[in-house]
Structure 1
Amino acid sequence: MKDKILIAGGYGNVGQVICSYLAEKFPGKIIAAGRNYEKADNFSKTTGGAVLPMKLDVAENHENSSLLDEVLLVVMCLDQKDTRFIEACIRRGIHYIDITASYKLLSDIEAMAGLAEQNGSTAVLSVGIAPGITNILVKHCKQRLGILEEAYINLLLGLGDEHGKAAIEWTVDNINTTFDVVENGNLQKVRSFEDGKESFFSEKLGKRMAYRFDFTDQHVLPRTLNIKTVSTRLCFDSVIFTRFFAILKKLGVLNLLKLKNFRRLFVKVFENFRLGSDIFAVAVDAIGEKEGKRAEYHCSIIGHKEGIITGKVAGLVAEKIYNGAYASGVFHIEQLFEPEEILKELEENIEIRCS
């Protein structure tokens, strides 16, 4: 019987949150899968068997694998080098959720929309905070304004939070990138951690200078919500560290990250040193029209422990897909869900302010 939910990377930081959330709803139907069976088994024991362990390597060929015979839904928490596992899931009609921040991978999955429709599979992308909650907040802004022309997304991350190694490596690898953004309906090339812009996060955090960063939401939202200008910027809870980082980028010091040994050392520092708090915040500054007049709308959220919130968002989406009947195809979170559906369930974990 196809009634299991498989979380690939289920014993990792975010994976454990997803497994625990879903095990409360569907005990005995949740599988924590990964290459290290011992870790999966040890985690399973902490749940009293509510979460089942499985040895699974997503890099292997699973086109005819019996491991997926009872699986109805897969939640992916691992970085993948290709889409073979995803395609194997979709061809079998298995629903699929991915928390990846890689725009290349998201684009490759988007290309499978026709395959998903043919096989009755629902794939949900942009599930987490950025992308994820950022997409939902922008949709909320559009609904309040009526016509949304410009969306400026700002993300604040706490340097004292426990970030997984994959997330740290992704951040480090994107510090020196050049990427395209949509401005006034046209593509413009910009550089990561440059072009600072000030945004108000909250009474406590105040205004912060944030810098461009290659988050996927700014590539997706112009298409899914029909917005002419979208940008996403990043800062840290430490104002001093954010400024220091921007100066290093301007001086070209961060180009040293292209050297393997320097990159490895940099990642290690972020892994082992807590340089701030575990806070995170998202602020969206929206500009458009309301009732025929130019209008602005601001919406922000503040929370703690980014990984836990990412896990809860993914768990919530998984619960809805498992219980509901959604259209087949490939969708981003804002295309399937209303802001109230997601934000209301997170009220205990985040503070929301809109004006």
Structure 2
Amino acid sequence: MDVGATHRLLEEVSELHDTAAGAGATAVLSVGVAPGLTNLLARRVNDPVGGAERIDLTVLLGAGERHDSDAVRWTVAGLGEPVAARALRLPVPGFDTRTAHPFPFSDQHALRRTLGVPEVTTRLCLDSRPLTAALFALRRTGLLGGARRQRLLTGVFGRVHLGGDGFAVRADAHRGDRHATLTLTGRGQSRATGLVAAHVVRTLLTQPVPPGVHHLDQLPHLADLPDRLTGHGISPPP
């Protein structure tokens, strides 16, 4: 099981599917909140519209939650990557209407293959509106590129805690005039990642999971995982 979120690494591991299957070994990728719960919600909204033409994923994270330097560095590096999609303004239950900006989470790449959806975009915003605006304004200036600048910003952002610890994940599927949407909310994104990982480990040890390399949304045994998290400060989708 891998709780990483770097697209390039996950793609390289995915290419080992046949080798792992031939050896009777199983690997599960896209474990956590994003990727992870985003993948599961995407699958849930894909089916009601008869196979989406486009899926939009929105991730709202609490800016007050503390993360280690590696997590902050990964986020800063992601802000420095070029994007083609546009920002999207939409309501997020519990947080009013927010503007979410495209961000290179790995789920959008994996879901194009696992669900066969041609267009998938994941967008990010923080519970702090001023911090969200500042981060993505910096991205537009191009000042987030370069290793030296990213090291400096990693140190700065690691000391900034302007919000709370609430998070939300929203998935929207579109096909023609058909639209389906689901939202999951909770507190403690890091703790939620740990809970998802624990459930995946238990499933791997107790259920007949097929060999090979699979993303979380490809395993029927884990389709109800968002519902299992009820009672852990997480409100599952309806």
- Give TM class, smaller chain: over 0.9
Aligned to 2:188: 305
Alignment of 1:289-328 (within 5 A): 294-328=177-211
Contact 1:140 1:339 in 2 (8 A): no
Report the equivalent of 2:212.
329
Question: Which 10-residue stretch deviates more, 269-278 or 135-144?
Answer: 269-278
Q: How far is 1:267 from its partner?
A: 1.5
Alpha carbons of structure 1 residues 296 and 267: separation in structure 2 relative to 1, 3 Å: same
Residues 254-273 of structure 1 mapped to structure 2, 5 A cutoff: 254-255=144-145, 258-260=146-148, 262-273=149-160
AA aligned to 2:120 is V
Tell me what 2:31 maps to.
Answer: 127
Counterpart of 2:59 in structure 1: which amino acid? L
Residue in structure 1 matched with residue 236 of structure 2 by the alignment: 352
SS across alignment from 1:282: strand
Whole-Å Cα distance in 2 between the matches of residues 352 and 336 of structure 1? 19
Aligned pair 1:245/2:149, yes or no?
no
Provide closer, same or farther for how the CA distance between residues 206 and 113 of structure 1 changes in structure 2, counting only shifts above 3 A: same
**1:339: Cα distance to partner?**
6.2
Aligned: 1:227 with 2:117: yes
Q: Which residue does the alignment assign to 1:149?
A: 53
TM-score between the two structures when normalised by the length of structure 1: 0.63
What is the CA-CA distance between 1:205 and the residue it aligns to?
Answer: 0.8
The change in CA–CA distance for 1:252 and 1:340 in structure 2 (over 3 A counts) is closer
Matched with 1:197 is 88
2:153 is paired with a residue whose SS is helix
State the shift of 1:341 in Å: 2.2
Distance 2:160 2:109 in 1: 32
Separation (CA, whole Å) in 1 of partners of 2:143 and 2:89:
24
Q: Deviations over 1:69-115 (max 9, x none)?
A: xxxxxxxxxxxxxxxxxxxxxxxxxxxx0011011111111111111
**Greater strand content:** 1
Matching residue's letter, 1:99: V
- The match for 2:169 is 282
Q: CA deviation at 1:246?
A: 2.2
Report the Cα offset of residue 259 of structure 1. Answer: 4.3
Name which of 193, 207, 225 aligns with 1:342.
225
Please tell me the root mean square deviation across aligned C-alpha atoms, in Å.
Answer: 1.7
- Quick one: distance in 1 between partners of 2:160 and 2:76? 15
Deviation at 1:338, TM superposition (A): 5.6
Give distance in 1, aligned partners of 2:44 and 2:141: 39
Deviation at 1:353, TM superposition (A): 4.2
Q: Which residue of 2 aligns with 1:79?
A: none
Contact 1:215 1:232 in 2 (8 A): yes
**1:278–1:306: 8 Å Cα contact kept in structure 2?**
yes
Q: Which residue of 2 aligns with 1:117?
A: 21
Q: What's the CA shift string for 1:117-140, capped at 9, x where partnerless?
A: 111101100010111000000111
Q: Rg bigger for which structure? A: 1
Secondary structure at the aligned position of 2:90 is classed as: strand
Contact 2:203 2:221 in 1 (8 A): no
TM-score normalized by the length of structure 2 = 0.93
Aligned residues: 237
Q: 1:251 Cα deviation (Å)?
A: 2.5
Give the conservation status (yes or no) of the 8 Å contact 2:56–2:121: yes
Q: Which amino acid aligns with 2:12?
A: D
Counterpart residue identity of residue 162, structure 1: R
1:29-49 CA-to-partner distances (Å, cap 9, x unmatched) read xxxxxxxxxxxxxxxxxxxxx
1:211 correspondence with 2:98: no
